[in-house]
Chains A and B, each alone.
Chain A
Amino acid sequence: DTGVSQNPRHKITKRGQNVTFRCDPISEHNRLYWYRQTLGQGPEFLTYFQNEAQLEKSRLLSDRFSAERPKGSFSTLEIQRTEQGDSAMYLCASSSGLATGELFFGEGSRLTVL
């Protein structure tokens, strides 16, 4: 399968714990995005990488959130000191950049904070 892969698919954690999600994009794609989706809402942009450079961050990305893409391949999204409001589906997408707006999404990582 050469699509976007996200792990873990589900994570249940207690408030205050740290969690990390991983995204493996389509191998030839140099752009990688993180979005957050809550029930009944559309995806909301969190951050964007071109290769290893983080070029844009949303105001939604508080200082408890950090994303990295150290070698321009896979990416991680870490949430520190989780809060119940962090419960959501975290979506990763990648693109080649040749066709603006044409993103390939993974199936998402669902976070539940108790």
Chain B
Amino acid sequence: GNSVTQMEGPVTLSEEAFLTINCTYTATGYPSLFWYVQYPGEGLQLLLKATKADDKGSNKGFEATYRKETTSFHLEKGSVQVSDSAVYFCALIETSGSRLTFGEGTQLTVNP
């Protein structure tokens, strides 16, 4: 079956530091890949996505590239802000599927 594995967390950084959150996946077909973010007290919201190999998703300074050869979709940001403190979830969906499969989430805390 499908699965998503995220780097063990939590992650604590200082403002303006570089962020990487690792995500690897297992899927039987050619899934679409997503990063969702959950800010404190809010519902999950889509951050970015990539639908095929070598696609790069980007939003709000965050980027992730769909690497089929390494089955990875790592999230990066060059300079984090305190407002980026949240839980980040990597997820996938099969091409003909209806359900998102999520990773366990990574808590990010950015200190001023």
Contact = CB atoms under 8 A, between A and B. Distances in A.
Interface residues of A, number: 25
B42 A107 contact: yes
A91 interface: yes
A101 B43 contact: no
Contact of B98 (A40, A55, A91): A55
B32 A101 contact: yes
Contact of A43 (B32, B44, B92, B98): B44
Contact of B104 (A4, A42, A48, A55): A42
A42 B43 contact: no
A55 B99 CA distance: 11
Contacts of B93: 100-101
A48 B99 contact: yes
A63 to B, nearest CB: 20
Contact of A103 (B42, B46, B104): B46
A90 interface: no
Given A100-B93, A101-B49, A102-B49, A45 B42 contact: no
Q: Which 6 A-B pairs have the closest CB atoms?
A: A42-B102, A105-B43, A101-B93, A45-B99, A105-B44, A107-B43
Interface of A: 3-4, 31, 33, 40-45, 48, 55-56, 58, 91, 93, 100-108
